[in-house]
A = this chain, B = another copy of it.
């Protein structure tokens, strides 16, 4: 992805679009020169500060401790002075300029030629990477060439604590609930600073969370001209200043390596020592070794994750059925091939870099590309990121599930606070404690429990990793199932009801019997019972130990099945649709005609009560149930649901478009599916929601992959059976992608005529447990593809 001119108005957005991350360390795409900038900086997974949430009107059990991701000291600063004039992009005369995110190399590269007032021309090239191999490491290369004259050159490199240095605009941020909390206190308490040679080291303890941080930067200088170095450090910054009497035609190269270590317990001083050791190593290896390793790692990742689309040469006439839409509708998009490829790959890259180093924290809503949503983890990772990981990077999927497990004790405590048995995972969190200060759209989203169980089931079935169940999966399932039985009750109608919950759609809240929640809870209950029964048979000792540890009583699993069997699922026979909740259809229709375009998203323009009392959806809810629990709907019912809900869904949440696209594809609404796909694919690239500055919408990026694979290729994996029912857009010729299935790699190519399947002969890391073949149901026909072979299924034949 390439930027061909510097536009100061796009500074914030490009910080997001050009952000780099490895899932543990993240770096916004701000320029090395430090200004202009919107919210520059670096983030580290789990590095957060806490603050006491105060309520003007408090109530029992409300979340008490706010958690906010904070900016780690910024190592990206490299300020250039020529003739003592600073390079400041908005004011500089640039003869050429290009900035590109290299998705294969995993680097951000900028090249520009700067002409000073007196005609001196300076070529500046810079590269940066956040190492996908070494989670603690980021690196920068900065090249300066005087093209036509000698001049004194100064390069000032810094490691800067921005968190406590930058005044932040509290008033502006307060208006939008999607932005981050502004902390009022000093966060980084200085614990250590040192400067020597070409190195700077800083250490801190975070004031309230107590987390510790050690970080540092090391430099190597290659200059044909003589130079001087000065290095210094103070509490909030370290500096290295390089002064060169540069001669025309020579090139100065500075490599800067940054290392970060954090801990919950280890003193900052010790972390600084670790950072120093990291710097020793990477500086010894040098830039090229890091860059080569980065490309090699990405080659591996792309081999599994790449999705390609070939567009049809001629665009056929739109003959597909299309629903009558009354509500907001995404724009149609006529893709150019390169543009489409780039959009897909940029989104996939975002998920890759958000998850390359998992297991040390969750995947925040914005990855580590911005502080939006306070760096909290939501259900995004389970529902929008886990499918991709399960099929493209199963180890990362496992790490994220293990990370959820580490929250289980806190989830147990939270269930107790909410008056329930079992465990209730937090709606939004960094530490595992609930941090939602608006419980109606937070804690009330009990479906988070079922989302975790869903992700777990999907992972286990796709990978065959039963060991996860033994290790911790069964325990998660047991405690989440318990929550549902405790939460619900048998009503006067004999059915099992879940009341006062909020479903995925946040434009209704605290409703009774949300269809999505009830369906997902039912699956949670049944899967938990199944897994415990399996565990008792296959691992009786582990079962006994788990039963003892959790106080599992005889008959508990039977009660789960009983509740599941009696689960109430709203259905309106007259309309043939599933009401979003028990009383959704009784609500007043939303008057879409009366709402001008500038009043979206509604949440910024209407009081919650106004929204809640209307039939208007922020995001797909029943449609999401149709994806995750799709085997419980008939195709006809799905179509009716799409006809009903798609027009009343504003898509004010970026989580919506992929699901709407997949639903539309499944019921054959080609045009609608493509519109929603475009909205998803361009969420950040075209700033569809106007808040790309706050960071990448990682779930949406995961949703783009899902739309391609679940939507257009029609992958379904209910109960572990893989099936493909392609709904390739009429304007597309071919779609290819790869799925890791039980240790094997299944290469899929979908065209209008056929589905080509190939299973790699060589297996991946999970080779010991790898299966010998992959089974897939294609357009209704069961295919078995042994490793090292390929199959082709004609779609025309099977349709005949």
Contact assessment for B606 and A443 in the assembled complex, using a CB-CB cutoff below 8 Å: no
Does A151 have its Cβ within 8 Å of any Cβ on chain B? no
Of B61, B489, B607, which is within 8 A of A606 by CB?
B61
- In the complex, chain B residues whose CB is within 8 Å of the CB of A766: none
Known contacts A499-B588, A588-B499; A444 and B59 CB within 8 A of each other:
no
Cα–Cα, bound, A183→B578 (Å): 49
Of B443, B512, B606, which is within 8 A of A419 by CB?
B606
A418 nearest in chain B by CB position: B607
Does A53 have its Cβ within 8 Å of any Cβ on chain B? yes
Which of A62, A177, A512, A586 lies at the interface centre, i.e. has the most chain B CB atoms within 10 A of its CB? A586
Does A174 have its Cβ within 8 Å of any Cβ on chain B? yes
Cα–Cα, bound, A609→B436 (Å): 14
Contact assessment for A60 and B605 in the assembled complex, using a CB-CB cutoff below 8 Å: yes
Cα–Cα, bound, A439→B510 (Å): 14
- In the complex, chain B residues whose CB is within 8 Å of the CB of A9: none
Contact assessment for B583 and A582 in the assembled complex, using a CB-CB cutoff below 8 Å: yes
Of B54, B419, B612, which is within 8 A of A607 by CB?
B419
Known contacts A59-B603, A60-B603; A610 and B66 CB within 8 A of each other:
no
Q: Considering the complex, which residues of chain A in the window 32-84 have a beta carbon less than 8 Å from any beta carbon of chain B? A: 53-62, 66
Cα–Cα, bound, A389→B512 (Å): 42
Contact assessment for A606 and B60 in the assembled complex, using a CB-CB cutoff below 8 Å: yes
Contact assessment for A66 and B56 in the assembled complex, using a CB-CB cutoff below 8 Å: yes
Cα–Cα, bound, A12→B101 (Å): 68
Q: Considering the complex, which residues of chain A in the window 489-514 have a beta carbon less than 8 Å from any beta carbon of chain B? A: 489, 491-492, 497, 499-500, 509-510, 512
Contact assessment for A57 and B436 in the assembled complex, using a CB-CB cutoff below 8 Å: yes
Chain A: number of interface residues, binned into ranges: 35 or more
Of B54, B174, B440, which is within 8 A of A174 by CB?
B54
Give the distance to chain B from A466, nearest Cβ to Cβ, in Å: 36
- In the complex, chain B residues whose CB is within 8 Å of the CB of A174: 54-55, 58
Of B177, B500, B587, B607, which is within 8 A of A609 by CB?
B500
Contact assessment for A583 and B583 in the assembled complex, using a CB-CB cutoff below 8 Å: yes
Q: When each residue 153-189 of chain A gets 1 if its CB lies under 8 Å from chain B and 0 otherwise, what string results?
A: 0000000000000000000001111000100000000
Cα–Cα, bound, A25→B58 (Å): 29
Known contacts A492-B586, A587-B499, A588-B499; A609 and B444 CB within 8 A of each other:
yes
Q: When each residue 431-473 of chain A gets 1 if its CB lies under 8 Å from chain B and 0 otherwise, what string results?
A: 0000011111111100000000000000000000000000000
- In the complex, chain B residues whose CB is within 8 Å of the CB of A587: 499
A588 nearest in chain B by CB position: B489
Does A10 have its Cβ within 8 Å of any Cβ on chain B? no
Contact assessment for B57 and A437 in the assembled complex, using a CB-CB cutoff below 8 Å: yes
Does A631 have its Cβ within 8 Å of any Cβ on chain B? no
- In the complex, chain B residues whose CB is within 8 Å of the CB of A440: 440
Contact assessment for B418 and A609 in the assembled complex, using a CB-CB cutoff below 8 Å: yes
Known contacts A500-B613, A583-B512, A588-B489; A59 and B439 CB within 8 A of each other:
no
Q: Considering the complex, which residues of chain A in the window 547-595 have a beta carbon less than 8 Å from any beta carbon of chain B? A: 582-583, 585-588
Contact assessment for A55 and B437 in the assembled complex, using a CB-CB cutoff below 8 Å: yes
Contact assessment for A607 and B436 in the assembled complex, using a CB-CB cutoff below 8 Å: no
Known contacts A499-B587, A583-B582, A586-B512; A609 and B58 CB within 8 A of each other:
no
Does A608 have its Cβ within 8 Å of any Cβ on chain B? yes
A498 nearest in chain B by CB position: B613
Contact assessment for B610 and A181 in the assembled complex, using a CB-CB cutoff below 8 Å: no
Give the distance to chain B from A175, nearest Cβ to Cβ, in Å: 7
- In the complex, chain B residues whose CB is within 8 Å of the CB of A441: 57
- In the complex, chain B residues whose CB is within 8 Å of the CB of A635: none
Give the distance to chain B from A375, nearest Cβ to Cβ, in Å: 15
Of B59, B497, B585, which is within 8 A of A492 by CB?
B585
Known contacts A489-B588, A583-B582, A609-B510; A58 and B177 CB within 8 A of each other:
yes
Contact assessment for B497 and A586 in the assembled complex, using a CB-CB cutoff below 8 Å: yes
User: Can you pick out 30 interface pairs between chain A and chain B where the beta carbons lie within 8 Å of each other?
Assistant: A54-B174, A55-B56, A55-B438, A56-B437, A56-B438, A57-B437, A57-B442, A58-B175, A58-B176, A59-B177, A59-B603, A60-B603, A60-B604, A60-B606, A61-B608, A439-B607, A439-B609, A440-B440, A443-B607, A489-B588, A492-B585, A497-B588, A499-B588, A499-B613, A509-B510, A510-B510, A510-B612, A512-B583, A512-B586, A582-B586
Interface positions of A (Cβ within 8 A of B) = 53-62, 66, 174-177, 181, 417-419, 436-444, 489, 491-492, 497, 499-500, 509-510, 512, 582-583, 585-588, 603-610, 612-613
Across the A-B interface, the 7 shortest Cβ-Cβ residue pairs: A56-B437, A61-B607, A500-B613, A57-B438, A489-B588, A499-B613, A419-B610
Task: Using A54-B174, A57-B437 as known contacts, list a sample of 16 further A-B pairs with CB atoms less than 8 Å apart, ordered by residue number in A.
Answer: A56-B66, A57-B436, A57-B438, A59-B607, A60-B606, A61-B606, A418-B607, A418-B610, A439-B608, A440-B440, A497-B588, A510-B609, A510-B612, A512-B583, A512-B586, A582-B586
